[in-house]
Amino acid sequence: MTFHSVSSAIVQRYLNHVLEAALSQNVQIQSVAIDVLTFTVKQGLAHPLQSFPVIVALETSPVNNIGNRASALHAILQGKHSSLINARYTVSARMSFDYQKKIVTGPVQGTIKNFFSSSC
């Protein structure tokens, strides 16, 4: 068995746990999970549709480092699999909303920080 085969088998076995950890409220756990997702996406060790909704949800993180890293993964997946992931935006939007319900105290609002510049 090659290294790629073993890596892929391990990722497939534990990917759901990694995705759950990525949506944790603990930033340290999220960071480690994003490290694993980054490796997984860059190496192509799992089907991109498995992790895409979680990556989109993480882009809405109030923690800039988490959101930026998720955006970078989104860009990689968009570049490699654009036609494939375009079918998952509805699921991804729902995952983002559920993630926000989990991390935000009070009602979830659809606003973006600093969306409008001060010159408007």
**Closest by Cα among 105, 117, 104, 8 to 57:** 104
* Confidence (pTM): 0.80
Q: Looking at residues 28-33, what average pLDDT do you find? A: 96
Give the whole-angstrom CA distance, residue 69 versus residue 52.
13
pLDDT in tens, 61-100: 999 999 999 999 999 998 888 888 887 788 888 899 899 8
> For position 110, what pLDDT does the model report?
63
What is the torsional sign of CA 60, 61, 63, 64? Answer: negative
